[in-house]
Every structure is written in C-alpha cells, then in structure tokens.
Amino acid sequence: MAENRAEVLAGAAVLAIAVGFFVWAAQGSSLAFKSGGYEVEASFRSVEGITVGSDVRLAGVKVGSVTSLSLNPVSFFADAKITLNEGVVLPADSAMLIAAEGLLGGAFVEVMPGGSLDDLAAGAVIEDTQGAVSLINLLLKFVSGGGAEATTP
C-alpha cells in the first residue's frame, strides 16, 4: 500500500510540473504574438532561417515579430508581413535584412533605421531589404577560389 501512495505522489508531482511548464510556454507564446502595434511588409530574395514568429530586432532589442511569410508568384521573392510593437517609430527609409545569430544559431530580421524625417506608416512596404546569406555558399566560394580570375604568366 505504501508503494502505491509513493507512486501516486510521484505521478502527481510530475503532472504538476508538466502543467506548470505548459502554462509558462503558453504565456511566452502569447507575449510573442501579442496584438498591438502596426504591420509593415517587405520582400526578401531569401528568408532562409526565418519562420512565422521570428524576432524583429533593432539594435539587438526585440521590436516585433514576423507574422506571415508567402511566396510572391510574380517576383519569386518571399513576402513577409511584420508586426512592429506599438511605440516603435521608424523612419520611412528604414531597411530590413536577415541576420544570423551565430554560426550555428537561428536567424532574425534586423531593422536598420534610415534618416528620413517621415515616419513609417502602418501597411507601408519596406523597399530596402537584404535576404539571408547562405554560410554554405560563402564557404564553397572561399574553398573554390571565390570567382578569382586565373592569371597565366
């Protein structure tokens, strides 16, 4: 009988911890997708490493998230809808680029503020974008000579 009581208590403790982790994860995801702020659009040549929910950062600080990714059938670029947090005001000529967190880490969208006196409006399209740079392609270029012209004596 003592064994059953110990097993029930251990099971209850594991279940309580699992529920606690579930609540913690649910709160974290609701913070990532909180409504509020405004949406802008940008087209990238490549969004490798970016998914819906990826961070949008300005000076290393999270200022929004990617809310939608789709392929543009006309330009064959990836169209991204990005929600910026309320209170984040960017110049109209700001740029966005896909940056890597590290050699083995994920990617995020980095905002490079411009110098325009006009502010970026809700629904605006950001024209100046740079897609993801493939580390493997860079390494292959380096190993193969990177397109350096061969010289003959």
**What pLDDT shows up at residue 150?**
47
Average pLDDT, the chain: 80
**What pLDDT shows up at residue 134?**
67
What is Dmax (Cα atoms) for the chain?
A: 92
Tokens 């409006």 belong to 121
5-57 confidence digits (pLDDT tens): 888 888 888 888 988 888 777 665 545 445 578 898 988 888 888 889 888 99
- Its pTM stands at 0.62
Q: Which of 27-31, 58-62, 100-104, 116-120 has the lowest mean pLDDT?
A: 27-31
**What pLDDT shows up at residue 71?**
92
